[in-house]
Amino acid sequence: MASIFLVEDEFSLVRLYELVLTTFGHKIIAVANNGEEAVQKYKKLLHKPDIIIMDHRMPIKNGIDATEEILEINRDAKIIFASADKEAREKAEMMGVLSFKTKPFSNEKLLRNIEKALKRTIYSSAT
Amino acid sequence: MENNKDLKEEQPILADLAKFPSENPNPVLRISKDKIIYINEAGQDLLNLQAKDALPEILFEEVNKALISKSVTTIEVELINKIILFDITPIKGEDYANIYGRDITESKKAEQKLIESEKLYKSLANELELIIDHLPGIVVYKDTENNLLRVNKFLADAHHLKKEEMEGVSSFDIYPRDQAQAYWDDDLEVVRSKQPKINIVEPWESDLGKKWLSTSKIPYIDENGEVKGIIALAFDITERMKFEEELKKSEKLIRESYQRAEIYKDLFAHDISNILQNIKSSNGLLAMWQKNPDDPQKLTEVIRIIDNQVFRGAKLITNIQKLSQINDETELISVDPFSKIDEAIKFINKSYSDKQIEIKIISQIKEAKIKANDLLLDIYENLMINSVKYNRNPTIEIQIKVSKFKEDNLNYLKFEFIDNGIGISDSMKEGIFNGTTKREDKSKGMGLGLILVRKIILSYKGKIWVENKIKDDYSQGTNFIILLLEVE
Distance between CA B264 and CA B260 in Å, rounded? 6
User: B169-210, pLDDT tens digit by residue?
Assistant: 999 998 889 999 999 999 999 999 999 999 999 999 888 889
pLDDT tens digits, one per residue of B325-384: 887 677 899 999 999 999 999 999 988 887 899 999 999 998 999 999 989 999 999 999
Q: What mean pLDDT do residues B157-173 have?
A: 92
* Whether residue B250 sits in one domain with residue B179: no
Taking the C-alpha atoms of residue B117 and residue A29, their distance in angstroms, rounded to an integer, is 106
What is the extent of the structural domain holding A98? 3-126
Of A58, A103, A108, the CB nearest to B273: A103
Interchain CB distance below 8 Å, B301 and A35: no
Q: Do B302 and A103 touch (CB under 8 A)?
A: no
For residue B292, pLDDT over 80 is answered with no
Residues 6+ apart with CB under 8 A from B382: B319, B449, B450, B452, B453
The mean per-residue pLDDT over the stretch B89-117 comes to 91
Kindly report the number of other CB atoms within 10 A of residue B99's CB atom.
25
**What is the spatial distance between Cα B194 and Cα B405, in angstroms, rounded to a whole number?**
65
Please name the residues in contact with B22: beta carbons below 8 A apart, sequence gap of 6 or more.
Answer: B28, B40, B41
Nearest CA in chain B to A33: B422
CATH code where residue A95 lies: 3.40.50.2300
CA distance A89 to chain B (A): 13
User: What is the pTM assigned to this prediction?
Assistant: 0.65
**Angstrom distance (rounded) from CA A21 to CA B232:** 82
The rounded percent of chain B whose pLDDT value lies above 90 is 60
Q: Is A111 on the interface with B (CB under 8 A)?
A: no
Per-residue DSSP letters for B323-379? HHH--TT---EEE-HHHHHHHHHHHHHHHTTTSEEEEEEEES-----EEE-TTHHHH
Interface test with B, best of A6, A15, A16 (most B CBs within 10 A): A16
Per the domain annotation, does B108 fall within a domain?
A: no
**Preceding peptide of B293 cis, ω within 30°:** no
Residues B452 and B359 in one domain: yes
Q: Which of residues B307, B324, B341 is at a domain's end?
A: B324
Decide if B175 contacts B158 (C-beta within 8 A): no
Q: Is B443 inside any structural domain?
A: yes
Flag whether pLDDT at B468 surpasses 90: yes
Domain membership of residue B421 (yes or no) is yes
Mean pLDDT, range A67-81, rounded to an integer: 95
User: Is A103 in the B-facing interface, judged by CB distances under 8 Å?
Assistant: yes
Output the pLDDT for position B351.
83
Q: What is the pLDDT of residue B324?
A: 81
Judgement on whether residues B341 and B313 belong to the same structural domain of the protein: no
Q: What is the mean predicted confidence (pLDDT) over A22-41?
A: 94
pLDDT at B423: 87
B111, part of any domain: no
For chain B, the average pLDDT equals: 89
DSSP state, residue B147: B
Domain identity same for B379 and B409: yes
Yes or no, beta carbons of A64 and B284 under 8 Å apart: no
Q: How confident is the model at residue A90 (pLDDT cuts 50, 70, 90)?
A: very high
Answer yes or no: is B91 within a domain: yes
Same domain, yes or no, for B341 and B428? yes
CATH number of the domain encompassing residue B76: 3.30.450.20
- B337 and B458 in a common domain: yes
> How sure is the predictor about B90, in pLDDT bands with cuts at 50, 70 and 90?
very high
**How many distinct structural domains can be found in chain A?**
1
- In the DSSP assignment, the letter for residue A108 is H
The verdict on B76 and B157 lying in the same domain is no
Q: In what order do the strands lie in the sheet with A3-7?
A: A27-32, A3-7, A51-54, A79-83, A99-102
Distance from CA of A83 to the nearest CA of B (A): 8
Q: By C-alpha distance, which of B445, B320, B269, B257 is closest to A87?
A: B269
Q: Which residues does B84 contact at the CB level (< 8 Å), separation at least 6?
A: B27, B46, B76, B77, B101, B102, B103, B104
Q: In chain A, whose CA is at the least distance from the CA of B432?
A: A59
Q: How far apart are CA B436 and CA B46, in angstroms?
A: 106
Contact B444 A106 (CB under 8 A): no
pLDDT at residue B14, as a whole number: 76
Q: Which residue segment(s) compose the domain that B181 sits in?
A: 134-236
The complex's ipTM?
Answer: 0.93
* Contact check, Cβ <8 Å, B288/A59: no
pLDDT score at B440 = 44
| C-alpha distances out from residue A98 to A8, A22, A39, Å | 17, 21, 18
User: What are the residues whose beta carbons fall under 8 Å from the beta carbon of B60, sequence distance 6 or more?
Assistant: B34
CA nearest to A63 within chain B: B443
